[in-house]
Structure 1
Amino acid sequence: MRSFAFKTQRASAVTQTAPQPPEIPRTPLLPSERRAAAGLAAIFSTRMLGLFMVLPVLAIYAHDLPGATPLLVGLAIGAYGLTQAIFQIPLGLLSDRIGRKPVIYGGLLLFMLGSGVAATADSIHWVIIGRVLQGSGAIAAAIIALTADLTRDEVRTKGMAAIGISVALSFAAAIVLGPALSRWIGISGIFWLTAVLAVVGMLLLAYVVPDPKQSRIHRDAQPVLSQLSGVIRNPTLVRLDVAIFMLHLTMVSLFVVLPLSIQDAGLQLADHWMVYLPAVLLAIVAMVPFIIMAERLGKVRQVLLGSVVTLGLSMLGFFVLNQSLWGMGLLLLVVFTIFNLLEAVLPSLVSKAAAAGAKGTAMGVFSSSQFVGAFLGGLLGGWAHEGFGADAVYLLGAMACLVWAGLVSTMAIPENLARHVISLGGAPEDDAPSLEARLLAVPGVKEAVIALDEGVAYLKVDSRQLDWARLQTFSSANA
């Protein structure tokens, strides 16, 4: 069947006298969907765990390698981000042609090889090559696409949420485990462990994750080339891309010198977990009120601007207090709280700002921007360290936040609309324009994209007005 996607949007005022719409029913995951989501989340998290475990230790170990300079150490820390950004969208598109699992197997194999190269490296240059290889196994888009293949339209967001949670937990675990493991196995052992995790990911893919009955394009979950130009012309999405870029630039540049500062303050690397662990755990709790403030109370701009300003002040705090373990521990609590908060709020804003049926493409560009930020964070952090000293890296982070705050203050906050996907069954092609018009006539439906090649309609809706019972008739009528 040929691909048709018709899009339009309609504005309507919220009336205070409108009757309360019926509650949207919650559909549980099937056992096979839970198995797929759990397996894919585990694959994603083991890979991210391997990437992040070296973050708090590489800055110290790498300086002892032959040929090491602060600039090259920074490059080694962030190098994975460059190839991750370059290959993520192309490998996602390749998975449309040759299948999801072959791409994921290939990406895990590259990740394993890169880990092995870094583990056996006898110079900083080979560590950089290993990190580049690790990043080239960019399987995020393929995993998201496979998740979409293995879940129904109405529960897909739950599968995606499982992956999102796994990434957040793997980052927190990696920051704590990296220094603790370095006591027994060193940096080489951590890289070998990362290679083992890649093999675990392959086994999970083979024995836990089911094979999809069919693979197809899912506009809400994966990039579509024809939508790229529209995404990069959307000023709100561009500002959100810059936001995630700045966040990861600041975070990665911080870890170019922070482990050195903690060590200089009197704590050996193997004990750094004692600083990281309480900061990570308390940050998970501390971010919750701010998420509620942003998502439920509508204080998105205040939360964003406050977070960026606070992050910038924290970077200045590291500049002043980098000889105090207690000071750095408190500042880490603030930084991890902001990082976790923005990692939750920014993707939510991308979802709201992207047009109906373009979320996958918007998230692909957003994710690529994140990895470019990680690469430049390592590179610029190493450059500042080499040219101006460790303290200059903290000032670099503060200046990045200053620029970032200016962008946030002028960003349009997207309307608080929810996304829904409804199945259309076997709707005829010539009925698409009529179907689009009838969907837009449903109270609360603001945007609609009819994707006949997928047999679904992508909607953006105002949940306060949505007539869910009427909307459901479209699925039953075309069943």
Structure 2
Amino acid sequence: MRSFAYQKQRPVAVSQTETPSPSLSPTERRAAAGLAAIFSTRMLGLFMILPVFALYAHELAGATPLMVGLAIGAYGLTQALLQIPLGLLSDRIGRKPVILGGLLLFAVGSVVAALADDIHWVIIGRVLQGSGAIAAAIIALTADLTREEVRTKGMAAIGISVALSFAAALVLGPVLARWIGVSGIFWVTAALAVAGMVLLYTLVPDPERSQLHRDAQPALDQLRGVLADPTLVRLDLAIFMLHLTMVSLFVVLPLSVEAAGLEAVSHWRLYLPVVLLAIPAMVPFIVLAERRGRAREVLLGSVIALGTALLGFALFGQSLWVLGALLVVVFTIFNLLEAVLPSLVSKRARAGAKGTAMGVFSSAQFVGAFLGGVLGGWAHERFGPDAVYLVGVLVSLAWVALLTGMRMPEDLGRRVLTLAPGAGDAAALERRLLAEPGVREVVVALDEGVAYLKVDSRRLDWARLQTLSAGA
């Protein structure tokens, strides 16, 4: 398979003619809902421990700040190492067996952590939780169960569910810890994994067939190109730094909140208003980045604000009101960058390589979570709680340097064009599509029966392209 991509300048704009965006069918809605529920409940189980573990870890034998940090971030290492291999395995043995096995590992890890009376067994449990790395397999199954023209909606449902899971976990974690303790949270997490297994075989349909979807899942032959792209590498480092900072923050944040006068059982009273304020606060900045073309300014401003807020934790963390205000800033930036960075990856990745680019991006995220726990625990143990916040400040400074001079991705859209059965020569079809106004890159995947396009939507005549592909 060959791809042809080049920049074209045409003096005359072509008006868009697009068919209305279709809706998900009942079967597709059921698939999207079921897979979003499985994905989000798993992430809820991973996140609920963040706001409470540092408060209760002293009850475990062998607990030190370093071990606590390792326990918090340990899931990220196995998640990063295994998510792409398990996604590729699902191409061979099927999506549902891989997802079922991942949920089973996640449940076993949760039980190990729930039964632990030693910090080392909690770490082993968290490593097992992360080894159930089913993200790529779930995305691939979503692609199998949705049509190309509505696939973005199915993926969006999963993305939204994960964001809501993080917000819910910050509130539910302290509440559940009060009622049933940290071990109880791990038992709830195991129960959520079992519920996910039930949903997988009762709500999620079986696909008629599974195949590689290059815009939704990794492909080994594209890894070298993705890793050689300087802009994609910088975006990978950006999500790495974001999750390193956030996970290291939770190594000491619960302790700071308690020291500021809010008892552990009431921490949800802080997190709930912070979350409710942070979610709408990010919306204007997303509009500024996505619709006004100011992504560079939004990124730089966000990183500077994040570093300033972390410095504020170190200098003024004794006041609960100050902590609350700083947390609104931090969570707004986290939610904002969780939306903007994947969008930039999507815009930068070559046609037909989005799945691979997003796979590497997600792996970088989980490596960041692992190292955030380790560095946060080490800094806490060696230099005290405030040193953890200063680690975040240093990471923010390095991040600003990384963004300086970074080439921002061009604002191009992605389209998937369904080909007529028995479409002709791939190279000839690619040349014909590239000759159309607004088409910048094309990859024809005859094995999938589609063509992946990167386009300038302002100059694209989509109806003409559909007619052309049908005639191919």
> Counterpart of 1:314?
309
Q: Confirm whether residue 12 of structure 1 aligns to residue 2 of structure 2.
A: no
Select the residue among 353, 362, 376 that pairs with 2:348. Answer: 353
> Counterpart of 2:57?
62
> Counterpart of 2:460?
466
> Counterpart of 1:100?
95
> Counterpart of 1:327?
322
Select the residue among 127, 132, 141 that pairs with 1:137. Answer: 132
Shift of 1:434: 1.0
Secondary structure of 1:91's counterpart equals helix
TM-score of the aligned structures, taking structure 1 as reference length: 0.97
Cα deviations by residue, 1:118-149 (Å, 9 ceiling, x for unpaired): 00001000000000000000000000000000
**Hey, what's the Cα distance between the residues in 2 that align with 1:13 and 1:63?**
64
One-letter code of the match for 2:400? A
Shift of 1:415: 0.4
Q: What runs of 5+ residues in structure 1 fail to find an aligned partner?
A: none
Shift of 1:412: 0.6
> Counterpart of 2:21?
26
CA contact (8 A) 1:14 1:465 kept: no
Secondary structure of 2:414's counterpart equals strand
Shift of 1:21: 1.9
Q: CA RMSD in A?
A: 1.0
Cα deviations by residue, 1:163-200 (Å, 9 ceiling, x for unpaired): 00000000000011101111100101000000000011
> Counterpart of 1:238?
233
CA contact (8 A) 2:10 2:437 kept: no
> Counterpart of 1:270?
265
> Counterpart of 1:217?
212
One-letter code of the match for 1:31? P
Pairing of 1:40-119 with structure 2 (within 5 A): 40-119=35-114
CA contact (8 A) 1:118 1:131 kept: yes
> Counterpart of 1:444?
438
**Hey, what's the Cα distance between the residues in 2 that align with 1:93 and 1:474?**
33
Shift of 1:19: 4.3
Select the residue among 457, 463, 472 that pairs with 2:451. Answer: 457
Secondary structure of 1:239's counterpart equals helix
Cα deviations by residue, 1:267-310 (Å, 9 ceiling, x for unpaired): 11110011111111111100000000000000010000000000
CA contact (8 A) 2:347 2:409 kept: yes
**Hey, what's the Cα distance between the residues in 1 that align with 2:19 and 2:281?**
30
Shift of 1:474: 3.0
**Hey, what's the Cα distance between the residues in 2 that align with 1:163 and 1:78?**
23
Pairing of 1:424-439 with structure 2 (within 5 A): 424-428=419-423, 431-439=425-433
One-letter code of the match for 1:305? L
Shift of 1:457: 0.2
One-letter code of the match for 1:330? A
Identity in percent: 72
**Hey, what's the Cα distance between the residues in 1 that align with 2:260 and 2:409?**
44
Cα deviations by residue, 1:420-453 (Å, 9 ceiling, x for unpaired): 0011132345x11110111111110100001011
Cα deviations by residue, 1:384-418 (Å, 9 ceiling, x for unpaired): 00000000000000000000011112211000000
One-letter code of the match for 2:380? H
One-letter code of the match for 1:93? L
**Hey, what's the Cα distance between the residues in 1 that align with 2:242 and 2:432?**
42
**Hey, what's the Cα distance between the residues in 1 that align with 2:238 and 2:18?**
34
CA contact (8 A) 2:18 2:463 kept: no
Shift of 1:259: 0.1
> Counterpart of 1:249?
244
CA contact (8 A) 1:248 1:373 kept: yes
Q: What runs of 5+ residues in structure 2 fail to find an aligned partner?
A: none
Shift of 1:154: 1.0
Shift of 1:6: 2.1
Shift of 1:10: 2.7
Change (3 A) 1:273 1:152: same
**Hey, what's the Cα distance between the residues in 2 that align with 1:422 and 1:214?**
19
**Hey, what's the Cα distance between the residues in 1 that align with 2:9 and 2:470?**
28
CA contact (8 A) 1:115 1:194 kept: yes
> Counterpart of 2:358?
363
CA contact (8 A) 1:63 1:70 kept: no
Select the residue among 139, 154, 159 that pairs with 1:164. Answer: 159
**Hey, what's the Cα distance between the residues in 2 that align with 1:7 and 1:34?**
33
Pairing of 1:352-431 with structure 2 (within 5 A): 352-428=347-423, 431=425
Shift of 1:24: 5.0
**Hey, what's the Cα distance between the residues in 2 that align with 1:355 and 1:167?**
26
One-letter code of the match for 1:112? A
Shift of 1:18: 2.1
Change (3 A) 1:443 1:329: same
**Hey, what's the Cα distance between the residues in 2 that align with 1:149 and 1:428?**
21
CA contact (8 A) 1:241 1:369 kept: yes
**Hey, what's the Cα distance between the residues in 1 that align with 2:259 and 2:316?**
12
